[in-house]
Chain A
């Protein structure tokens, strides 16, 4: 049985842990609100961008562009994995890496990775997969400009033929309590579902392009792919903060439970020692009285 002093120290240290986790929880809670607002703010743009992309992809019989045409066979795949720089977020980082490896781990094509976040890099490196680029220490609220380099890199790889397909693995923010790792194909755009009216085989209007078709598609597709990446990263950030918030709340609860148990043990031990002391005193007094009366 630990001494009373040791128990006191133990309680104090657990209490400190609870304090830290509670602070982290509060910080994450406010960060998740901000990240959520950022995601919601880009959603209209991303949704519209996806719509336009869908229209384009649905017309790929009349429009020829390398970024719209699937390559066959697919020899090389680029996977962009979005993870966090920091841990203490439950299974957040592990989930996204596991999703990436289960999707691409046994693919017949050669897969290389671009990874965002230190944690994901460490895990992927341990898995022994080739990583061609890595972005970490992103600003807490990244702007579109901060992330445009990632999009450029992905598009370059695709154009140069280093990748025949580009996918992004990120964490969808569904709710505070629910986030899900997901894979989305970025390039070629053929991975998009064609809108219903085109599937129905109605007359497909032919687009006019201003300036020229190739130039315009280059600009449009570049931008639309970048915004998809941007949105995926914002979603992942919101998910990371939400996951951390929940994890830290659990940690705080566990710590408080532990403190309760320890406090109970401590009180019992203290009571026992007091009882012991009292018995000693009583026995001592008894002995003394016995001596005096005997005299």
Chain B
């Protein structure tokens, strides 16, 4: 029996359909969700979420969020998310370089610019890793 899976980010719906298994980056570690999982509510961390279906699998880069698991349905509310196929590697690399540059020049570790650069670095790093590992072909 497949499990229904909805993945939405704040600005669009990323995935809606049936899946055999979902592997999600929970804040306490990777979670593999199979049908009839016990109800669970968890936060997600930066990572790759994989939806396995009969025909293959689809991967999504998720930058934090919330996941609700019910026996027959999984709902992922991602803060930021995109399909691995959609990742713009050149842009992510540029963003990473920019963030690293900013971190080098940031003396203070507590100001907003530093945190912003840190977030941007983590995000672009995640995109690059996800694209490298999960992109087909």
Which A residues have a C-beta under 8 Å from some C-beta of B? 41-42, 44-45, 48-49, 51-52, 55-56, 144, 205-211, 216, 219-220, 223-224, 227, 230
Contacts and interface: CB of A to CB of B under 8 A. Distances in A.
A223 B66 contact: yes
Contact of A45 (B9, B38, B42, B70): B9
B106 interface: no
B39 interface: yes
Given A42-B11, A44-B8, A44-B13, A219 B43 contact: yes
A55 B43 contact: no
A207 B39 contact: yes
Contacts, number: 71
Contact of B28 (A44, A205, A210, A224): A210
B12 A219 contact: no
B38 A208 contact: yes
Given A210-B40, A216-B41, A42 B27 contact: no
B9, B41, B68, B79 interface centre (most CB from chain A within 10 Å): B41
A38 B73 CA distance: 27
8 contacts: A44-B13, A48-B77, A208-B39, A208-B41, A209-B41, A210-B28, A216-B42, A227-B10
B26 interface: yes
Given A52-B75, A210-B42, A227-B10, 16 more contacts: A44-B8, A45-B9, A45-B10, A48-B8, A55-B68, A205-B39, A206-B39, A207-B39, A208-B38, A208-B40, A208-B41, A211-B27, A216-B42, A219-B43, A220-B41, A223-B77
Contacts of B42: 208-211, 216
- Interface size class, chain B: 20 to 34
Contact of B66 (A41, A205, A219): A219
Name the prevailing secondary structure of the A interface residues: helix
Contacts of A220: 41, 43, 66
Interface of B: 6, 8-13, 26-28, 38-43, 66, 68, 70-71, 75, 77, 79
A99 B9 CA distance: 32
Contact of B12 (A41, A144, A230): A41
Nearest to A45: B8
A131 B99 CA distance: 40
Contacts of B39: 205-208
Nearest to A217: B41
A44, A216, A230 interface centre (most CB from chain B within 10 Å): A44
